[in-house]
Structure 1
Amino acid sequence: MANIQERRDKSGKLISYSIRVHRGRGMDGKQLKPWTATFEVSPTWTEKSARKKAEAFAATFEKECREGVTTDSRQKFQAYCDYVIGLKEQRGVKHSTIVRYKELTGRIYPQIGHIKLKELRADHLNDLYTLLGQDGQSKRGGKLSAKTILEHHRLISTVLEQATKEGLVPFNVASRATLPKVERKEVNYFQPEQVAAIREALEQEPMKWKTLVHLLLITGARRGEVLGLKWDKVDFEGNRIYICNSVLYSPDVGIYESTPKTERSRRYVTLPPETMQLLRRYRAWQAEERLRLGEYYQNQGFVFSQDNGNPMHPDSVTDWLKKFSKRHDLPHINPHAFRHTMASMLYFHGVDSVSISKRLGHAQVSTTANIYAHVMEEADQRNADILSEVFLKKA
């Protein structure tokens, strides 16, 4: 049975428990060094509650020691963070998320990676977040946005939450850190006359790009979702597509296929007849291209692909739109702006948040409402203007 000893400060206040698990004797008959751990006590706990929690921790610690799966609570944040990221990777967390975690650790480790888990304090995190908000932290040498700083915090909090579950720390100190305020950023969307100008310019562009950009606008899909679309997911009879695949890129594996962002991102999106007709014409054009290219073209079923049939790099869409906008003297265009434009136009025409959220593939309706809060306010003002025109205008 584990041995539990109290530790108190000079004033007599209970601060922690020392846990020792005896290992018996080795082959030479000598006493083996015991397994040890420290259980920190939260200042908010009563001594009775602290003792109960310490006993539960000691029982778990002893069991893990006997089974050979214990983790040293004295290890530093960097080692434990690597362990947690590895754990998530084993459990099937998306590769893009793991890559992002590792990017964030590049800024986290130099500041707190050397600190022991049990010694990490909220002020350490506050200093880190202050530093991240200064010049020289972004890839371009500027400051990190509050939203990006919050990403770092969430990773740290996730790691410490796992440490709490494993009994390595008594509570998650990240919950006591002071976070920068993330101001709501209004989404940028195109006005109807801008959409008309873009569509007119597209008539002068190659068939593939004309169709791809049209689909971005009408579906509101993410660029990776459009690039991941395959012909067997295009329902010409039902006038809809099924989004269940995405094309992504990471430096370590290159271009790869993955499932969509969330489970609700798997969705059917109904399309207008004009879009379906455009897809038919594009499919016929693509078939002719395949015949022309012969064996060079490796058909993988993608609606949009490189010249050889392989999936397209997601950034190729962004790069093409940048050149396209300059070529036609149009405002700066990025793929996500089409997503915002579609959602905004639906709000302005009275479509409810649930329907819009479903079309966008958001995990929760609240996500849609938060992103498009200012659009909803503008739409409501338009509604008020209509009511004024209908009911209050003098004859």
Structure 2
Amino acid sequence: MASIRKRGSSYLLVVSMGYDFEGNRIRPKQKTVHSPEGLTQKQKEKWLNEQAVLFERECKGLPQEVDRSITLAKYTELWLREIAPGKLAKSTLARDRQDIDRFLPVLGHYKLTELRPEHFRNFYTELRKVISLETGRPLSEHTVEGVHATLCTILSDAMEGGFLDHNPAWRTYRYAGRKKEKKIADLETLQRIIGALEEESLKYETYFKLIIATGMRRGECCGLQWGDINWDERSIHIQRNVVKVTGEDIIVKETKTVAGDRYVYFSLEMESLLKEFQQECAWETETYDGRKLEDADYIFRRHGARLPMTPSTFTWRFKLILKKHGLPPTLNVHSLRHTNASLLIAGGADVATVAGLLGHSQPSTTLDIYTHAFDKNKKAASQVLQEGLEI
């Protein structure tokens, strides 16, 4: 794809044209574009990527023998067979298949070139009325947003392959209603959770306290190895993510995003707990496996195996802990990550710092997710200022 270079308020698209028959580099083609006003950072990135694809196709010509009369259903079949397996993780592809099952019955008969923005907007409106068989309530907005994301991904690949001149689904989705605040434990509830964890086995206490202390994702915590810990700096290198797809073996892969490969830090108390758990793991490994504990061993691993534990195991255990101690049942393991973020924000951490510790690719993502927390922090800071100035 064409490279994108920022030039003040504009962007320069550059397409490499390769070399001629004598081995001389052909002069690259360039084009300056200005993004539309009012776009979020994520929307701007999508717009620029689309412009880069279109410009490269313009410079190099459309691929030959492309059937531009293909329907969405037929192209999706091609996409699942030839494109998706090479670019998506199994867990992502499994989720995308669920989204595909939702939109194909409604939109699948349209030719790609017939699709218009109103087709998607009308579809999302009707999708919000569908009753979930699991909850008995209308589908969540998160589900609708996910279907839109899958459609955009598929149609972007169709555009890159020359089946379309633009992505007709782009900017057709708008979040309906108000976004709900993330499920976060207040300080009193958090203290009760910590107290409850201290009644659990050392393994579960360590796992859940580690997420509270660092804000890592549950799969990232499952992917930790003892060699990822730097005891001198009291830091942990997060560089893996564990996922489990129904019917498939457990998968250990790279972190969710490039930014997810990061370092987080822990306290002296957490260090003491980790070392105590390490001693327990060393004893179990020597007793039952007949070997020494190694840096490559997963911190939270299955008994008698070198495989990490499944994230859903901890999800199930956390629900039992909440029920046992009369804690809010609406909380989940991810709530501990959100709680960590809210505590960082309440402590005055800036958005870039919070984004880096949580592994978000863009600070705008952090700001979008934790808008309420930052707003509360700004309000509190404003009150302190006004009181100090006696306004």
Q: Which has the larger radius of gyration?
A: 1
CA contact (8 A) 2:220 2:240 kept: yes
Preserved contact between residue 282 and residue 293 of structure 2 (Cα < 8 Å): no
Could you report, residue by residue, the CA deviation over 1:370-390 in whole angstroms, capped at 9, with x for unpaired residues?
A: 111111111122223434555
- Of the structure 1 ranges 310-319 and 158-167, higher mean CA displacement relative to structure 2 is found in 158-167
Task: Report the equivalent of 1:308.
Answer: 304
Match of 2:258 among 263, 279, 289: 263
1:193 to 1:291, Cα distance in 2 relative to 1, 3 A:
same
SS at structure 2 position matched to 1:312 = coil
The one-letter code of the counterpart of 1:210 is E
Equivalence for 1:273: 268
1:232 equivalent in structure 2: 227
Q: Which moved more, 1:350-359 or 1:379-388?
A: 379-388
Q: Could you report, residue by residue, the CA deviation over 1:101-122 in whole angstroms, capped at 9, with x for unpaired residues?
A: 1111111111122222233334
Do residues 198 (structure 1) and 196 (structure 2) align?
no
Instruction: Determine the C-alpha separation between the residues in 2 that align with 1:280 and 1:175.
Output: 50
Q: Match of 1:254, SS?
A: coil
Q: Which has the higher contact order (CA 8 A, sep 6+)?
A: 2
List aligned pairs for 1:24-173, cutoff 5 A: 60=61, 64=64, 70-137=65-132, 139-173=134-168
Q: Is the 8 A contact 2:66 2:162 kept in 1?
A: no
The corresponding residue for 2:374 is 376
* Contact 2:281–2:293, Cα closer than 8 Å, also in 1: no
Query: What secondary structure is seen at the aligned counterpart in 1 of 2:308?
Result: coil
Q: Which residue of 2 aligns with 1:216?
A: 211
**Partners in 1 of 2:163 and 2:249 — Cα distance?**
37
Q: Which residue of 2 aligns with 1:320?
A: 317
CA distance in 1, matches of 2:364, 2:145: 19
Equivalent positions of 1:351-390 (< 5 A) are 351-388=349-386, 390=388
CA distance in 2 between partners of 1:119 and 1:266 (Å): 41
CA distance in structure 1 between the partners assigned to 2:210 and 2:232 by the alignment: 18
More divergent stretch after superposition (302-311 vs 113-122): 113-122
**Equivalent residues of 1:212, 1:226 under 8 A apart:** yes
Q: What is the CA–CA distance in structure 2 between the aligned matches of 1:176 and 1:357, rounded to whole Å?
A: 25
Q: Which residue of 1 aligns with 2:348?
A: 350
Task: State the SS of the aligned residue for 2:250.
Answer: strand
Give me the whole-angstrom Cα distance separating, in 2, the residues matched to 1:383 and 1:122: 43
- Counterpart residue type for residue 360 of structure 1: L
Task: Find the aligned partners of 1:206 and 1:176 in 2 and give their Cα distance.
Answer: 49
How many Å separate the matches in 2 of 1:123 and 1:297? 63
Amino acid at match of 1:321: F
Instruction: Give the 3-state SS of the residue equivalent to 2:251 in structure 1.
Output: strand
Q: Count residues with an aligned counterpart.
A: 332
Mean Cα deviation higher: 305-314 or 106-115: 305-314
Q: Which residue is 1:253 aligned to? A: 248
The whole-number CA distance in structure 2 between the counterparts of 1:182 and 1:296 is 57
Normalised to the residue count of structure 1, the TM-score between the two structures is 0.76
Q: Classify 1:198/1:164 alpha carbon distance in 2 versus 1 (closer, same or farther; 3 Å).
A: closer
Q: Distance in 1 between matches of 2:387 and 2:173?
A: 49
User: Offset at 1:317?
Assistant: 0.9
Amino acid at match of 1:361: G
Once the two structures are overlaid, the 10-residue window that deviates more, 367-376 or 175-184, is 175-184
Aligned residues of 1:156 and 1:174 also touching (Cα < 8 A): yes
SS in 1 for 2:219: helix
> What is the alpha-carbon distance in structure 2 between the residues aligned to residue 303 and residue 249 of structure 1?
18
TM-score normalised to structure 2 length: 0.77
Please give the root-mean-square deviation of Cα atoms over the aligned residues, in Å.
2.7
The CA distance in 2 between the partners of 1:266 and 1:255, in whole Å, is 20
Structure-2 residue corresponding to 1:10? none
Instruction: Single out whichever of 380-389 and 341-350 deviates more from structure 2.
Output: 380-389
Unmatched runs of 5 consecutive residues or more in structure 2: 1-53
CA separation of 1:232/1:374 partners in 2, compared to 1, >3 Å: closer, same or farther?
A: same
Residue 173 of structure 1: how far off its partner (Å): 2.5
